[in-house]
Amino acid sequence: MPTHLPSLAGPPPRGSAPRTEPPASPRRALALFVAVKALCLAVLFLWAQLANRDAYTLLSARWDSLWYVRVVEHGYDFTLTAPDGRVLSDMAFFPLLPWLEEGLSAITPLGPADAGVLISAVASIAAAWGIFRVVDAVYGERAALFTVAIWGALPVAIVQSMAYSESLFTALAAWALYTVQRRNWLLAGVLASLAGLTRPVGLAVAAALWVAALLAWKSSTDRRRLVAGVVLAPLGAAGYVLWVGQRTGSLFGYLDVQGAWGNGFDGGVAFARFIGEHLFSPAFAAGLGLLAAVVLVGWLYVRGVRQGQPPSLLVYCGIVVVLALCSSGFFGSKPRLLMPAFPLLIPLGLALARTRAAVAWSVVAGAAAVAAVYGAFWLHGSGPP
């Protein structure tokens, strides 16, 4: 473990180079992460009991969870006509999670929805482990521990326990970025391709690998594997998008499918208008909160740049943030769409690592409590569409 933690005012002493020491044990970080998840679930189930609701249904069979199950049950042939006449297709949902749900259901008594919850639970732990490895490789064990804790205690962290694809995608992305740091190009390419089969933002993982490979080209001793990783990285996302294009009879068929759902990339115009409408209405406080959240995201990204995060992390995180904030889809989904952008949390992890233990652990406990209460409140209300 390094004896010096990077200052919040400047880059770390090792720049973006991986540490040469053996990796730290993730046991403490994973135990802390599981404890935070247990608290969130306990509050959710208690809230549901008091509200006479089924907490497990909230985790397994609402919103996107239902659409993944429809892919398992109907293949990519299910459509739903919205009240305004739009035809919503399940081809908007990438296939890796429903494939895993179908496979697990085939070999266990679990139904697809139950399998989705189990996959998400396991994937969330794998994601926490991967985040720990990524941060420890550059900033050390203590910073990695607190970064994992913050990721597990995000206000919308209850999504990590739902039959959604965020946990699976973050796990694949984090481990792909770690293998990039270790210059294991072939494995990184495979993981990036799987991330691309999970969510369209998987191309952010491929882009991160490409940038790292370009920077490592001159010093690489195994350029064949490097090239293989570069070629493999985008195949998952590109392959699915092209398949949808073939099914719809249009090269840009996937964009048409997303457009029917109201999703598209407009550079953030719709989101800015949404914030502005709140700022100049009785919902001024909500608009101010949204504006503050966007500023915070931007500030954290700039801190990451100034602290010398590896280029692969900056590229990955930047693309995830841009796609989340600059899309025209349902604005309530943006917090969960930002969840895979875990490098944003590294400056906070570093700050807690440099803080007195009592203060740092008080912050973690407070964040976990807020996540538990807000997660239960959120799922019993509008939820994370």
Range of the domain at 258: 27-379
Angstrom distance (rounded) from CA 237 to CA 180? 19
Q: Is residue 6 part of a domain?
A: no
Amino acid 369: pLDDT: 97
Q: Is residue 286 part of a domain?
A: yes
Going from the C-alpha of 337 to that of each of 22, 40, 74, the distances in angstroms are 33, 19, 26
Angstrom distance (rounded) from CA 150 to CA 148? 5
Amino acid 2: pLDDT: 39
Q: Is residue 8 part of a domain?
A: no
Q: Is residue 249 part of a domain?
A: yes
Q: Is residue 5 part of a domain?
A: no
Q: Is residue 244 part of a domain?
A: yes
Q: In this predicted model, what pLDDT tens digit does every residue of 10-20 receive, in sequence order?
A: 334 333 444 55
Would you say 251 and 245 are in contact if contact means Cβ atoms under 8 Å apart?
yes
Q: Is residue 119 part of a domain?
A: yes
Would you say 384 and 164 are in contact if contact means Cβ atoms under 8 Å apart?
yes
Phi, psi of 320 (to 5 degrees): -60, -45
Sequence-distant (≥ 6) Cβ neighbours of residue 79 within 8 angstroms: 87, 88, 89, 90
Would you say 211 and 312 are in contact if contact means Cβ atoms under 8 Å apart?
yes
- One pLDDT digit (tens) per residue for the chain, 385 residues: 333 333 333 334 333 444 556 778 999 999 999 999 999 999 999 999 999 999 999 999 988 999 999 999 999 989 998 888 888 999 999 999 999 999 999 999 999 999 999 999 999 999 999 999 999 999 999 999 999 999 999 999 999 999 999 999 999 999 999 999 999 999 999 999 999 999 999 999 999 999 999 999 988 888 999 999 999 999 999 999 999 999 999 988 999 999 998 888 888 888 888 888 888 888 888 888 889 999 999 999 999 999 999 999 999 999 999 999 998 877 778 899 999 999 999 999 999 999 999 999 999 999 999 999 999 999 998 776 5
Amino acid 361: pLDDT: 96
- Which residues pair with residue 81 across a beta bridge? 87
Alpha helices in 158-283 (DSSP H): 166-181, 185-196, 203-216, 223-232, 235-248, 253-260, 269-279
- For residue 112, the one-letter residue type is P
> Nearest Cα to 341, choosing from 125, 151, 96?
151
Sequence-distant (≥ 6) Cβ neighbours of residue 31 within 8 angstroms: none
What is the number of structural domains in the chain? 1
**262: alpha, beta or left? (left if phi > 0; alpha if psi -120 to 50):** left
Amino acid 21: pLDDT: 67
Q: Is residue 9 part of a domain?
A: no
